[in-house]
Amino acid sequence: MTREQIRHDNTSNTSNTHNEPPIDVLAEQWLCVKALITSNMAELRRIEDRMLPFLDQKEEGTVTTLTKFGRKISVNNRLNYSLDGAKLMKVRHQIPKNLLPLRAKEVLDETRLRFLRANEPETYKIIAHAISAKPGKATLTIKVNEDD
């Protein structure tokens, strides 16, 4: 087999030379498992929705129910809070500073960081000492070619 044939075989996924399954086989397996997960998650949500009316709960926090067969089922309800800055400015003066339920938090602006890395390398070198980065989990998206 020539180098050109090997290169073509490796890029076309029609054959392999190291006992690896072709990428299309792995992609098909991924699509099947992803469909199972999606289906199972939907069924899990339906069962949870049927269970919730029969379990002890409170508006916010965790409550555990003990079943007659000894299972402990915990329900954790959450409230998602958001802040309207304009409304806060209207009432802020009415609340003592020590009772104001706010805190300042500095957050890394990744867009500006990337700008510094690309356009201001000297400034980036300074701030880089205070920043750590680790690889995140890769995500896959597979689309089936409907033309086949």
Amino acid identity, position 14: T
pLDDT of residue 17: 61
**In Å, how far are 82, 93, 95, 96, 103 from 99, measured between CA atoms?**
18, 11, 7, 5, 11
Contacts of 124 (CB under 8 A, 6+ apart): 113, 116, 117
Q: Per-residue pLDDT averaged across 49-55, rounded? A: 96
pLDDT > 70: what percent of the chain?
A: 87
- Interhelix angle 110-119/121-128, rounded to 10 degrees, is 130
Bridge partners, 62 (sequence order)? 76
Q: Is the pLDDT of residue 62 over 80?
A: yes
Q: Which residues contact 52 (CB under 8 A, 6 or more apart)?
A: 75
Question: What are φ and ψ of residue 6, in 5° steps?
Answer: -65, -45
Name the pTM for this structure.
Answer: 0.59
